Amino acid sequence: MSSCDTCVVRNRAICAGLDNQEIAALNVMGRRRAVAAGEPLIWEDDDSLLVANVIDGVLKLVTSTEDGREQIVGVAYPSDFIGRPFGQTSRASVVALTDARVCVFARNDFDRFAREHPELEHKLLERTLAELDRTRSWMMLLGRKTAPEKIATFLLEMSERLDDTGCTPKVGAARRFSLPFSRQQVADVLGLTIETVSRQFTKLKNDGVIELPSRREVEIIDRGALVSIAG
């Protein structure tokens, strides 16, 4: 029995829709790997040697300047695809934010397999197009939104992606969730400093819009206010 048979993201990842024979072939090429929180999986500007599906956990895609400034350019959740197929180098590092499990493939093998399986390439294309849409709307946030707008938008997006109630499949947005990000990482997503993030969080709490039961925990009290701040 292949590990794909027991894969929890089997029907949501790009593997969905492949027939048994194809899954078997993929299964031979790939292997599961655990990545501890904080551990990198792919390095910026390195040769692109591997690609992967996220099984569980959350990972960040990050680019840095020489003088150490960081910008998180993407976040990968379970069933997301990471890495740069059909290209020589990766232009972002991939680092686990939480303990994560991924299903990794050598890029060469994956590229070859993908070219032979149009259905897989199609899935990858759809995912890449959706990611491009999401990335572009994040550009609007980075270029044109104020700090309060950025924070509100971020919290709303998180509440759609995460859910602490254990309710699966998710029904809309979560009221309460646990951030996979430290304050610094929130700052790196939004193009702000850690102090500004902290001050905006505190302000939302004081205004009764959110509760902060612990450092990573967020509870949305007044979603309407958040939507209106997000602009």
Partner DNA sequence: GTTCAGCCTTGACCAAGGTCAAATCGGTTT
Partner DNA sequence: AAACCGATTTGACCTTGGTCAAGGCTGAAC
- Compute the distance between CA of residue 182 and CA of residue 86 in angstroms, rounded to an integer: 33
Minimum Å gap between C-beta 189 and DNA is 12
Phi, psi of 73 (to 5 degrees): -105, 0
Minimum Å gap between C-beta 77 and DNA is 20
Among 79, 81, 196, 218, binds DNA (CB under 7 A): 196
Among 84, 107, 123, 183, binds DNA (CB under 7 A): 183
- Compute the distance between CA of residue 20 and CA of residue 18 in angstroms, rounded to an integer: 7
Closest CA to 63 of 79, 46, 80: 46
User: Binding pattern to a copy of itself, positions 162-201, x when CB under 8 A?
Assistant: ----------------------------xx----------
- Compute the distance between CA of residue 22 and CA of residue 195 in angstroms, rounded to an integer: 50
Phi, psi of 132 (to 5 degrees): -65, -40
Q: In sequence order, what DSSP letters do the residues of 118-139 get, joined into one string?
A: HHHHHHHHHHHHHHHHHHHHHH
Q: Which of residues 146-175 bind DNA (CB under 7 A)?
A: 146-148
Angle formed by the axes of helices 147-161 and 223-230, nearest 10°: 130
Minimum Å gap between C-beta 69 and DNA is 9
Among 215, 227, 228, 231, binds DNA (CB under 7 A): 215
Q: CA angle at residue 100 from 133 to 220, to 5 degrees?
A: 60
Residue 193 binding: pick among a copy of itself, DNA, none (C-beta 5-8 Å cut-off by kind): DNA
Q: Which amino acid is at 173?
A: A
User: Binding pattern to a copy of itself, positions 111-150, x when CB under 8 A?
Assistant: ----x--x--xx-xxx-xxxxxx-xxxxxx-xxxx-----
Q: Single out the segment in contact with DNA by CB under 7 A; choices: 47-55, 118-126, 140-148, 164-172.
A: 140-148
Residue 102 binding: pick among a copy of itself, DNA, none (C-beta 5-8 Å cut-off by kind): none
Closest CA to 53 of 117, 102, 121, 124: 102
List of residues contacting DNA (CB under 7 A): 146-148, 182-184, 191-199, 201-202, 212, 214-216
List of residues contacting a copy of itself (CB under 8 A): 61, 63, 65-67, 69-71, 73-74, 84-87, 91-92, 115, 118, 121-122, 124-126, 128-133, 135-140, 142-145, 190-191, 231
